[in-house]
Structures are given as structure tokens and as C-alpha cells.
Structure 1
């Protein structure tokens, strides 16, 4: 039988009624002739509660025990989903990560998937099981300990199963009905996309779009897993949601597919850094070791052997960056006059594979921001995206202006 993977996020399984609603969607796919692998998250809010219990019990916790606790939320959901399906006369069985087994590295709380042997689940399908309900977000290390994959790990679990079982498709059920040209909460002109390429979705996810976890999109692109994002709370059909697929499958030809934003950014500037070979490595090496996620980087023109170096990072990593650079300075690895931090900025980006073959995208973007009197602090580009750092107070205005400038409300 063809295999379909269906993933339900925390809001989709937040209580028994919502689990029942999700189970009806699974039942419908079984009736269409699929064997189904269902990946479930913990009930909405449950993982945060479990994490808070761990922190309250042991602030300097053992990461192995942390994983043992926080993975339990998905186990509860998987069992309840299997029971609900059984009540609907659907042969279903729940699976924890170690029972599959979903094999991972030993990096507790941030484990990476290394393999998913098919034997156990395939055997149960052959014996008449129609639905395998798998606890997302978790696996087993080479040492035999439970591991977790990090926040958003259930999306990654779903894509990995779709790849391992050659699934026809991986459906991600969430609280939105697809991928939009931008956040509908910012502009009511936002339009749901019927399809979007893996590359565009990966850029949007990494630039602030919250619908799909970045690692899951990377995995889908690597293994050519067709993803469909759709709502748990609406009636669905074959054209519902947004399909994330290969560029060759796209029907739309918009130059820009979406506008993304990241609100919680900071701009940091090292003033009067010595300009010498290796200075960039001396600055960004300690930042990397401290776990600071550096994004945009700008180096000014050198004057009398000194320069200014500016970079952006998440606002909650400013103190970490400040400490790392202060330590490097005290060791004499780098010399600078002062470190300035601007925590009132945001990043706004336009993304589209059409940028490869169309000139003038940057000019149109910059004109739109100029017309709204929005000053650009930093610019970075790639083959299919342009990002700017601006004052946070203008973020929503910038998103609206760019959405209008590229006429994203119109289908091509």
C-alpha cells in the first residue's frame, strides 16, 4: 500500500477533542487506501511545562534526564491518538522513538537523526496495522538513552520518516492553512501560496517564518520529500494548503514569493578595530565558540590602520557576544575602542527564486523603503534573497510596503 506521513503539531492535539478531530483526518486517508505514519507533538504547552519542572528541580540538570522528562509529552499524545483511532475501528499502534528505532547521535536535547530502520513498522503493516502513531521529537542514542531533537523536532521526525519509507507525501497539519506571502497579521493583503520551492521555504524559515522548522525543510530538500502544510481545523482536499516541492513543479512565476521578518535582532559594532590579516577570524571565532548566531556582517573602509566591524545577532545573545569579545580583548587577541549594541532593530527580507533571472529587485526594494522614509542600517544578499536591518519601530510598515511594491497579493 502507498504510505502517507501525517504530522500534527501541539495545537492540533491540545486536548482529547482535538485529537479526535485529527484522528478523523487520519481515518479519511486510511479509507483512501493509504498505510499511514502519524507523527505527533506533545499537547500544546506541555513541553514548556515539562522544561519548567526540570529547571525547578535541577537548574544544572543532567541532559540525559532532561531528555527523559521532556520527551514524555509526545508519548502521551501518541498513546491517546492510537486509542482514539482504535475506537474508530482503525488498526493503530503507538510507537516511541526507541521502539522504531529512530537512531540519533548522542547530543542530548539537540540530537541529529542518523537512521530509521523500516523493519519493525513494515512488519506490523504486513500484519494488518494501518496506522503507526510515532512520538515525534525523540529517538535513541548509540548508548541506548532517549534523546530529543530540539524545538521543532517533530517536523524533522515527520520528514525523516517520509524519506525513510518513500512516502508519497508528508502532510504537516498546523493551526494555519498554508504558507502565505507574509504574515497575515501584518497585512490583510497576504495571499496563501499554492506551491513554493524548497529553497524559498528554507530561506523564509531561516529568516523568521515560523510555519516550518528549518531542519525539516533542509531534510525535505535533500531527499525530495514533497511537503504539504495545511490546517487541522478546516475541511481539506487534494488542493488544500501549500505544497513545498521542487522548483520544477512550480506553476507560479512571481519574482518574489514572500516577505519575512525577524523582530528580535540586535546590531553590534566594534569601533576602531585594528585592520590586519586574520582580524575577522579573531572576532568571529570567539563568537562562534560562545554560541552566538552571527548573521549580517559589514566592515567599513580602513582609516589609519583601524576599521569598524558591524554584525547582527539575536537580541537574546547580546550579553553572550559582549562577554566573548571582552574576553578576547583581555587576552590581547583583538583590540578595539568600544563595543556598541543597538537592540532596537529588526530584519526584513524578500525571497524569491525569480531573482536569479530578473534584474532590479534590489532597486525596487530600496525605493519602497525610501518612499516610507525607512533608513537601512545593513544589507545582505544571496542568490534568492535580500535582507535589510532597520529600526524595529518601522518593521511592520516595511513589510507592508514591500508586499505592496512587489504586488504579492496578485497570483501570477
Structure 2
């Protein structure tokens, strides 16, 4: 017998019929003798509906009241799923985040979990009940409802699995695992049987949308085996673990991630003096704009060019800030480009293989794709290229690093 924490996302519980399907799946696990804790999201579209209503009431609603409002979406789902389980003869009990006592800090709309009380859940599990918990939410030290930010149900699932010392946390979604890259871009993309937390964290941060970054961080920190599975199809999914695959056939690169939501800004003719980077990026940071890749050219005539990337949604605001910074620094010009993309190769095998970056650059050069910026870490290489070449680059790299499925057949 094993203890599984299963998380079902919004599309998995998007209709009454789909909730019935989840109940059937959970019943199967109970009949096999396993203890089950289920974490659910709001039904697909419900959170957006609630946010829309809030905007009709107030242009900038209070974060506290927004948390009270949007947390109700999960409360509907937990009750309906328990009803469906009870109708199948499976004893079940629902809990909101506050009832479980998922304790968070007091930052509304993006709270972080600090502690979880497991006594009530343990009691229910000992009585043979399925425990159904509302994802995405908790309570702060003053008893206020808090939410964990978009995608927070993944984090709830992993946190509960860690607190309960579950055998596995299973994330059910609309894909059947983690792929070497997006199958919509590369027909030969393959589902990976296993990937390390380290690789998955890089993939998630670089554009892969399968798992929330914080959930992967949490799982890695507490060594919670994490498995991504399809809600409506049987299959082994992808296991995310600390164990590296040491088979001879394991590729050097595990996957290719990409992100279209990039923009690049350059301040030309910046004085080459100590502290100039802080004077450029300080105002950007104070505007809550996250900076990704940074490049500073070699000084010429006591001046240099300073380039960095931001999310495309922040491009206009960042450019406006830099115009003021330019005047203060006496820089020559600010230029920007919001038609770029980032492509990254990821793999723990890079640690023990030389020439990986060179192979990446040669492949892109062979497709006549110019590299605008480069960033590296121990297990990844990222490049910024023109957005129009994104899919060509991903397909070329996927093939060059032998990630294509050998049995892929074009229809």
C-alpha cells in the first residue's frame, strides 16, 4: 500500500462529467489499497470568471478581498468531487486550505507556504477516507484567506506530499508527461520516462509550461518524487526525481525549452564607470520588472553598451524608465526589440561532455540563425534569437542532439 497525493488541474475538473471521471480514477486507487489525498484546482475558466466580476466592482480590488473571492473556485470543486466519491461508495472528506491549516505568510495573491498541519488528514486516512483539499490557498497568521498565485495548486500538492511523507506526488494534467520539447513545434518530440529536479527546474524557468517553478523547487528541496500524468489517458507519465539516469544511451541534452515572451533593451554609449549597472537596473527593479539575461560590451572610448532582456509585457514600461536613465547617465541612445525569443538546451549530461555549446552554435549557424545574446549555467545554454526563427531553431537543435523519436512517421 502506498500514499499518493494526486493533483488535478482546472481542465481535469472542468465539467461535472470530468469530475465524475476523476472520482472513477480515485476509486480505482482506493480499491487497489492505496491511501489518497486529492488536491484540486477550480473548474477551468472559473478563476477568470471571478476575476472578471471583481473588475466590474472595482478597478483595483483589495488583494485581501481578491483572495477571499478567487479561493471559492476550489471550494466548489472539492465539494463536488467528494459528492461524486460518496456516490461511488468511497468515503471522502473535503477541506479548504484554512481547514487543513496550510499556514502561509501574509502576502495576498502570492503567498508562500510556511507550515502544514497534518493531524486531521492523518486521522481521515486512518479511517479509510479519501482526503480532498482545495489547492492554491491557505491562511495567514491572522486567519485571513491567502492564495499562492496562478498555478499554486501544484505547489499545494507537492507541499502536502512533503508534509505527509507521501510515496509520490502525481500531477494530472492535459499532457501525458514531460517532452523533450513542445510536440506542437517538433513532431518527433519524445516523452521522457525520467528527468531530474535540476533539469525540470531549468526547463520550467526557461519556458516549459508543464509544471509551476515553485512546485518543482519545493519537490526538489524536500525530495518528493513527482510524476506528471495525463488525466484521461493511461500511461507511466514522467517521473521527476533526484536520481540521474546513468544509462549509456542517455543523451547529453535532455530537452529544449523556449520562450516567445521576451524583449531586449540596450542603452548605447553608457559611461564605463563603477556602479553604472546598478544605476541602470536599479530603477527597473524598483518597478517590479524582472531582468533575465544581461550583456555588457567591452569598453571603447570610455563608454560601453548595456543590454538586458525582460518579459515582453514589461517592455514599454522598461523602455520608458531607460529614457530617463539615459538622460541621467548622459548615454547616447536607448533601443529596444520585442520580436525576440529565447531558446535553451538543458541536460545534466553537459557536465561531463565538452563541446555542447559549440554544437549548438554550429547548428544555428548552419540554419543561418544569428545569435544576439548567450547565457550559460552548468546544465544549460540559452540564446536569444529573432522570434521568426524560433521554430526552425528548435527543430534543428532537437535533431542535432539526437532527441527525435526514431519511429516518428509523418502522416
Short-chain TM bin: over 0.9
Matched with 2:409 is none
User: What pairs with 1:53-92 in structure 2 (closer than 5 Å)?
Assistant: 53-92=53-92
Distance 1:311 1:226 in 2: 36
When the two structures are aligned, how many residues end up with a matched partner? 405
User: For the Cα contact (< 8 Å) 1:197–1:250, is it kept in 2?
Assistant: no
Q: CA deviation at 1:130?
A: 2.0
Q: CA deviation at 1:48?
A: 1.2
Matched with 1:130 is 129
Distance 1:370 1:14 in 2: 45
The 1:249–1:38 alpha-carbon spacing in structure 2 relative to 1, beyond 3 Å, is: farther
Unpaired runs of at least 5, structure 2: 407-411
User: For the Cα contact (< 8 Å) 2:263–2:337, is it kept in 1?
Assistant: yes
Q: Does 1:345 find its partner at 2:344? A: no
The 1:33–1:182 alpha-carbon spacing in structure 2 relative to 1, beyond 3 Å, is: same
Of the three residues 232, 252, 256, the one matched with 1:255 is 252
User: For the Cα contact (< 8 Å) 2:326–2:333, is it kept in 1?
Assistant: no
Distance 1:125 1:376 in 2: 55
Unpaired runs of at least 5, structure 1: none
Q: CA deviation at 1:120?
A: 1.7
Could you report, residue by residue, the CA deviation over 1:309-342 in whole angstroms, capped at 9, with x for unpaired residues?
0011111011221233345456x3x332221110
Matched with 2:306 is 309
Instruction: Indicate the SS of the match to 1:340.
Output: strand
Matched with 1:195 is 194
Q: CA deviation at 1:306?
A: 1.1
Could you report, residue by residue, the CA deviation over 1:222-275 in whole angstroms, capped at 9, with x for unpaired residues?
000000101011124xxx100000134665621000011001110110111111
Matched with 2:152 is 153
User: For the Cα contact (< 8 Å) 2:267–2:322, is it kept in 1?
Assistant: no
Q: CA deviation at 1:29?
A: 1.3
Instruction: Indicate the SS of the match to 2:278.
Output: helix
Could you report, residue by residue, the CA deviation over 1:105-152 in whole angstroms, capped at 9, with x for unpaired residues?
1000000000001112112223x2421100000000111110000011
Matched with 2:275 is 278
- Of 314-323 and 209-218, more deviation after overlay is shown by 314-323
Q: CA deviation at 1:409?
A: 2.1
Distance 2:245 2:229 in 1: 18
Distance 1:292 1:81 in 2: 39
Matched with 2:219 is 220
Q: Does 1:385 find its partner at 2:385? A: no
The normalised TM-score by structure 1 is 0.96
Could you report, residue by residue, the CA deviation over 1:15-69 in whole angstroms, capped at 9, with x for unpaired residues?
0111111111111111122221100001111111111111221112110000111
Matched with 1:105 is 105
Distance 1:129 1:62 in 2: 41
Matched with 2:32 is 32
Matched with 2:166 is 167
Matched with 1:45 is 45
Instruction: Indicate the SS of the match to 2:11.
Output: helix
The normalised TM-score by structure 2 is 0.96
Distance 1:33 1:359 in 2: 48
User: Alpha carbon RMSD of aligned pairs, Å?
Assistant: 1.4
Distance 2:25 2:86 in 1: 14
Distance 1:376 1:35 in 2: 51
Distance 1:261 1:300 in 2: 25
Matched with 2:114 is 114
User: For the Cα contact (< 8 Å) 1:352–1:385, is it kept in 2?
Assistant: yes
Of the three residues 218, 240, 243, the one matched with 1:244 is 240
Distance 1:124 1:249 in 2: 37
Matched with 1:395 is 390
